[in-house]
Amino acid sequence: MARPTDVQVIGTAVFLLPVTMRVPLKFGGQVVACVTCARVAVRVRGSDGRTAVGWGETPLAVQWGWPSPTLSYDVRHDAMVRLCTAAAAELARFPERGHALEIGHDFRATRLDPLAAAAGGAAVGGPVPELAALIAISPLDLALHDAFGILHGHDTFHTLGAEWLSRDLGWYLRAEAGDPPDPRFAGRHPGDLLTAHPPRDLLAWHLVGGLDPLERGDLRGDEPDDGQPLLLADWIARDGLECLKVKLRGDDLEWDVDRLLRVGRIGLAHGVRHFCADFNCTVTDPDHVLAALDRTAAALPELAARLLYVEQPFPSDLATHPIPVHAVAARTRLFLDESAHDWRHVAVGHGLGWNGVALKTCKTFTGALLSLAWARAHGMDVMVQDLTNPMLAVIPHLRLAAHVGTLAGVETNGMQFCPQASVPEATIHPGLYRRRGGRVDLSSIAGPGFGMRVAEIPRTLPAPVLVAGAIDPAICAV
């Protein structure tokens, strides 16, 4: 059913912004020293002929979204860039009119697979994998939602109710495309799941990477002299941290337990209230996680009592590795992350025993909203997790966390690993890029769309790598 508020995409532009980490970030078996952020502009036209430009940005996190023992970083990176630009060109000529959620959903359903196959091709030996493909199109989806809100003069999160959408959640959350809508979601919309009065600040989680020095004896001598903290206790003191997320190896029980205990002792001594253990898909046997929990509880009961959840210990491909995890979930909250590509993957994980899901805007904002709906209906806990989001990427990420009512705040670590990247954005949004009193401050966010205030940010963009459709590159020179 057409609505007078429906829009159509008429133009896109893609910019690539390189970011170098101040220190390397190690998680699981991966180390990240640099990343390319894809910043995208999407122009939409309403039924009355008015147009608006929205913005989206996502780090093309190659190591996280596409780990590979055989393909080089450059091969994977270039394939993701090809997919992002090809998808932008395709979206600029996508004929559908509708709400941003409807266009975003249908674009993924009908266009992503062939685009991923073409972007991969002979260089990759197959299509770009699904998670990496979602990362590549997510800035487009974010920009589309931003543009829809800007065109209508509304906060994006206020445009997700029945008065804006032609389809309810029952239409989206059905087993197969040809099935009738799921009656459990009849008449419900994403806006029904969001808090009416989102907080203006959020509890902030600090990431303890696998290479991060904890104490002075861990320093290697090559750390940057940039005025930022180096040791964990210094971070806790400066930022007033109350929540620590600990990256583990998953293939070395002694190292994992020792790391948890060392972080735990430092954190507890400095007033940290919550901890999380993240294995990043490296564990193949639930007994490893159970043993780590047992040994942590025996050595430091207070840490075990404050371990709020465990994140994604097991391989991300649930079809290839359908590991029953009920024993672990009976001991702790167990969160899907890399496995939670969309709500269907969340449903598979729930059937295997997972009881929580980590939402990420890098899997598309549209997909995050639908995963949220399925998870909430099935009693799963929810967190919103970071992708070391700098610059504009952090804004929808934090806003999603503020609106969904997470288990405890939000992970945000761009200020740890790439603070210099966000200096222009921080002039307008200082509270988003520095944690104070253990929290991030969202009070600078204002206006329609995601409230990013892009036109006020003193950033000079590089030349676009793609301009498609009816969008003037001069519009993008903000």
Token digits for 177?
Answer: 């495309």
Q: Distance (Å, rounded) from C-alpha 203 to C-alpha 178?
A: 42
In a domain, 109, yes or no: yes
Single-letter amino acid code for the residue at 383: M
C-alpha torsion sign, points 110, 116, 122, 124: negative
Q: 267 with 351, same domain?
A: yes
Q: Mean pLDDT throughout 83-94?
A: 98
Please give the tally of structural domains in the chain. Answer: 2
Q: 149 with 212, same domain?
A: no
Long-range contacts of 256-259 (CB under 8 A, 24+ apart): 256/288, 256/292, 257/292, 257/295, 257/296, 257/299, 259/210
Check pLDDT > 90 for residue 28: no
Exposed (0-12), middle (13-18) or buried (19+): which is 2, by Cβ within 10 Å?
exposed
In a domain, 423, yes or no: yes
Q: 258 with 316, same domain?
A: yes
Q: 400 with 268, same domain?
A: yes
CATH of the domain at 263: 3.20.20.120
CB of 41 closer than 8 Å to CB of 53: yes
Q: What confidence tier does 131 reach under pLDDT thresholds 50, 70, 90?
A: very high
pLDDT given for residue 473 in this prediction: 67
Q: Mean pLDDT throughout 321-333?
A: 98
In a domain, 173, yes or no: no
Task: Quick: pLDDT tens for 170-190.
Answer: 999 997 777 888 999 999 999
CB of 370 closer than 8 Å to CB of 400: no
In a domain, 385, yes or no: yes
Task: Quick: pLDDT tens for 249-286.
Answer: 999 999 999 999 999 999 999 999 999 999 999 999 99
Q: 472 with 440, same domain?
A: no
Q: 145 with 262, same domain?
A: no
DSSP state of 98: B
0.85 surpassed by pTM? yes
Q: 355 with 399, same domain?
A: yes
Token digits for 341?
Answer: 């590509």
Q: What confidence tier does 478 reach under pLDDT thresholds 50, 70, 90?
A: very low
Distance (Å) of CA 459 to CA 73, 147, 177, 264, 389: 28, 20, 43, 40, 17
Q: What confidence tier does 475 reach under pLDDT thresholds 50, 70, 90?
A: low
Tell me the residue range of the domain where 341 lies. Answer: 201-445
Task: Quick: pLDDT tens for 371-411.
Answer: 999 999 999 999 999 999 999 999 999 999 999 999 999 99
Report which of 13, 14, 19, 15 is spatially closest to residue 391, judged by C-alpha positions: 19
In a domain, 182, yes or no: no
401 contact partners, CB below 8 Å, separation of at least 6: 202, 384, 409, 410
In a domain, 263, yes or no: yes
CATH of the domain at 74: 3.30.390.10
Report which of 229, 221, 227, 302 is spatially closest to residue 269, judged by C-alpha positions: 302
Q: 270 with 323, same domain?
A: yes
Q: Distance (Å, rounded) from C-alpha 97 to C-alpha 138?
A: 19
Q: What confidence tier does 476 reach under pLDDT thresholds 50, 70, 90?
A: low
In a domain, 422, yes or no: yes
C-alpha torsion sign, points 457, 458, 461, 466: positive
The percent of residues above 90 in pLDDT, for the chain, comes to: 95
In a domain, 172, yes or no: no
Q: Are strands 333-336 and 439-441 parallel, antiparallel or unpaired?
A: unpaired
10 Å Cβ neighbour count for 161?
A: 14
Q: Distance (Å, rounded) from C-alpha 58 to C-alpha 81?
A: 12
Q: 420 with 321, same domain?
A: yes
Query: Integer distance in angstroms from the first to the last C-alpha of the chain?
Result: 36
Q: Mean pLDDT throughout 437-463?
A: 97
What are the beta bridge partners of residue 276? 245, 309
Which residue do the tokens 């948890």 mark? 260
Task: Quick: pLDDT tens for 195-231.
Answer: 999 999 999 999 999 999 999 999 999 999 999 999 9
Q: Distance (Å, rounded) from C-alpha 355 to C-alpha 149?
A: 33
Q: 431 with 471, same domain?
A: no
DSSP state of 192: G
Q: 399 with 269, same domain?
A: yes
pLDDT given for residue 214 in this prediction: 98
Q: 460 with 421, same domain?
A: no
